[in-house]
Structures are given as C-alpha cells and as structure tokens.
Amino acid sequence: MNKQKNLVIGLAVSLLLIIFVLLNTEPVTINFLVVKPKLPLIVVLVIMAFLGALVSWLMGEKSHEEQKRSWGLFKKKTNKKINE
C-alpha cells in the first residue's frame, strides 16, 4: 500500500512540474562565468530538475551503502554476543 501511495504522490508532483514547465517558455539568459547563452526557460527548468534528481539519487546511494555497512557491523556484534 505504501508503494502505491508513493506512486500517486510522485505522479501528482510530476504532473505539477510538467504544468509549471510548460507555462514557462520565455527565453532567459543564463550566466556562466564568461558565456551567456539564451535558452528557453523550459530547457533550463528541465535540466535543473534532472540535475536535482541526480544529486538526490547519488546522495541516497551513499546513504544506502552506509546503512548496509552499519547493518553488517550490527550483525557481527550481535553474533559475537550470541556465540559467547
């Protein structure tokens, strides 16, 4: 049931994001140190949303690995106590 709830919330947020992006199509100037390209706002928003998702996924992977490591240490400690 929890996965279904997360799916519905994810779809709702995605729909709102799509509507927001489609309403913002004016060209804007992006300031990179020396280069100043002029892109439609929709492109900038999609790129930033993708980069935000990528960063959060990478941070989540690191957290997941840390959790797995700490669980392994916990299991070793509890096995020692049980065997002693």
% of the chain with per-residue pLDDT over 70: 70
Phi and psi for 36 in degrees, rounded to 5?
-130, 75
Helices H, strands E: what count in the chain?
2, 2
Tokens coding 57: 């996924």
Give per-residue pLDDT as tens, 7-31.
899 899 989 988 887 888 899 998 8
Q: How far is it, in rounded angstroms, from Cα 12 to Cα 57? A: 20
Q: How many CB atoms lie within 10 A of CB 70?
A: 10
Total domain count, the chain? 1
Structural domain harbouring 30: 2-83
